[in-house]
Amino acid sequence: MPRVGLNQQTVVREAARLADEVGFAQLTLAALASRLGVALPSLYKHVRGADALAQKLAVLATAELATEMTTAAVGRSGGDALRAMADAYRDYAHRHPGRYPATQRVPDPADPEHIEAGERAVNAIFAVLRGYGLTGDDAVDATRALRSALHGFVTLEAAGGFGLPRDVDRSYHQLVASMDISFRSWPRTGG
Amino acid sequence: MPRVGLNQQTVVREAARLADEVGFAQLTLAALASRLGVALPSLYKHVRGADALAQKLAVLATAELATEMTTAAVGRSGGDALRAMADAYRDYAHRHPGRYPATQRVPDPADPEHIEAGERAVNAIFAVLRGYGLTGDDAVDATRALRSALHGFVTLEAAGGFGLPRDVDRSYHQLVASMDISFRSWPRTGG
DNA sequence: CAAGTTTGGCTAAGTGGCTTAGCTTTAGGG
DNA sequence: CCCTAAAGCTAAGCCACTTAGCCAAACTTG
């Protein structure tokens, strides 16, 4: 049997591509193996199992998303930065419908790369909020609010939860605009 | 074989209880059958399969949630109504961690009960927004924003996505307060 | 109350996913 | 050139869902 020459990285990368094509929930070791041209159990030489694969995919996707959020906000501030980051966020979810859900997995404390990626994403948001003068507890609250709004919107959109004909892009822009207003007049707690 | 006397309603109700105990993702026909004291295939006399069960559970949970949201807002208006409804929403997700995820399934057009439940939930939100003077396209956008924020928060919270020590209840209240501010000064489009 | 019918239970069997065990063969290093 | 580590394989088992087909309980009706 000629060797295909896989390693963990190639396996995870192909899993990401496959997930984007068929959906995160339909990402299966069987499909991945056949896509890579090996028998299913061969994958276990590179990943510890289905759950570990999802975990590694989470790292990959979180890192990508963090990078795109950071890049979008660079050189901007205030509402400009917020809009750019929010657009980058939703854009990523659109371009990578299979990877995006993976990013919601809570970072594995045993995986430094995962921790780092998660921190980069949060720090990108923190940096934007600093432009609104939000720090400390206020920044934590505002970060949670922003993550909730963006994640919620993107998730509902992907699930087909927005039934009415009203344009979805516009709704998103309104949501971001309303967050901008909120951050300007955030109820300060002095944290 | 003595009959247990199941019907679709008892099956779905027990599924809801079981989901709350073990989690929606761990809700399995095998576990449900053993809980009900029958063999697994017997369930097929009452439900068409695992997917249909999830669908029926979605109807049950959506109807419950819609009722609680509506009840919470009754007799209140403006920020009062918003806070009451938001609290009811998160409270439901806390009390029914297995049912809540089921509510995210998009209503089945072929199931009038499901459609009705979904409409009741949306109408509850619409009613609250009317208190802010939001109607037409503005109300659609604002509804999407509110649903996104609440769903996103509750989902991230349930997933353990809020790592920092900052109190989560307070963050939620801040989020709701910020939505209140947003709705007061919603960027009108004249829809 | 008896007979017939409906129906809610059952067992058996097949599919597809994940996982482990253990073998073989390739590829690379001494 | 041989030896070892690793990358592939097959076989086999587990668990979930699903379908088919049987049997007995309960209801309906004369």
* HEC profile of B154-171: HHHHHCCCCCCCCCHHHH
Q: What residue has token string 């938001």?
A: B86
For chain A, first and last CA: distance in Å? 63
Residues A115, B21: Cα–Cα separation, whole Å: 30
Q: What's the confidence (pLDDT) of residue B166?
A: 84
Which is it for the CA torsion A6, A7, A11, A13, positive or negative? negative
Q: Does residue A110 reach within 7 angstroms of strand C, measured from its CB?
A: no
Query: Is A106 in Cβ contact with B166 (below 8 Å)?
Result: no
Q: What's the confidence (pLDDT) of residue B189?
A: 75
pLDDT tens across the length of chain A (191 residues): 678 899 999 999 999 999 999 999 999 999 999 999 999 999 999 999 999 999 999 999 999 999 999 999 999 999 999 999 999 999 999 999 999 999 999 999 999 999 999 999 999 999 999 999 999 999 999 999 999 999 999 999 999 999 887 899 999 999 999 999 999 999 877 55
Lookup: nucleotide whose C1' is closest to A39 CA:
D9
Q: What's the confidence (pLDDT) of residue A21?
A: 98
Confirm if B124 and A178 have CB atoms less than 8 A apart: no
Q: What's the confidence (pLDDT) of residue A187?
A: 82
Q: What's the confidence (pLDDT) of residue B190?
A: 60
Whose CA is nearest the C1' atom of nucleotide D20?
B41
Q: What's the confidence (pLDDT) of residue A1?
A: 66
Angle, helices A50-73 vs A29-36, to 10°: value is 80
Cβ within 8 Å of residue A74, ≥6 positions away: none
Q: What's the confidence (pLDDT) of residue A166?
A: 84
Confirm if A84 and A45 have CB atoms less than 8 A apart: no
Which is it for the CA torsion A150, A174, A161, B107, positive or negative? positive
Cβ within 8 Å of residue B61, ≥6 positions away: B16, B96, B99, B100, B102, B103
Cβ-based contacts of A107 with chain B (< 8 Å): 163
Identify which of B145, B151, B153 has the shortest CB distance to residue A175: B145
Q: What's the confidence (pLDDT) of residue A64?
A: 99
Angle, helices A50-73 vs A78-95, to 10°: value is 150
**Chain A 12-71 residues in 7 Å CB range of strand C:** 28-31, 40-41, 44, 48-51
Mutate to test the interface with B, among A100, A122, A141 (most CBs of B within 10 A): A141
DSSP character for B108? P
Q: What's the confidence (pLDDT) of residue A34?
A: 97
Residue A166 burial by CB count (10 A; 0-12/13-18/19+): exposed, middle or buried? Answer: middle
Query: Is A148 in Cβ contact with B149 (below 8 Å)?
Result: yes
Residue of B nearest to A137 (CA): B166
Identify which of B164, B175, B183 has the shortest CB distance to residue A148: B175
pLDDT in tens, B118-161: 999 999 999 999 999 999 999 999 999 999 999 999 999 999 99
Confirm if B57 and B16 have CB atoms less than 8 A apart: yes
Distance B111 CA to D20 C1' (A): 28
Q: How far is C-alpha A179 from the chain's CA centre?
A: 19
Residues of chain B with pLDDT under 70: 1, 190-191
Which residue in B63, B77, B81, B48 sits closest to B16, CA to CA? B63
Tally of CB atoms within 10 A around B90: 20
Query: Is A147 in Cβ contact with B151 (below 8 Å)?
Result: no
Residues A69, A87: Cα–Cα separation, whole Å: 9
Q: What's the confidence (pLDDT) of residue A189?
A: 75
Q: Does residue B130 reach within 7 angstroms of strand C, measured from its CB?
A: no
User: How far A166 CA lies from chain B's nearest CA (Å)?
Assistant: 7
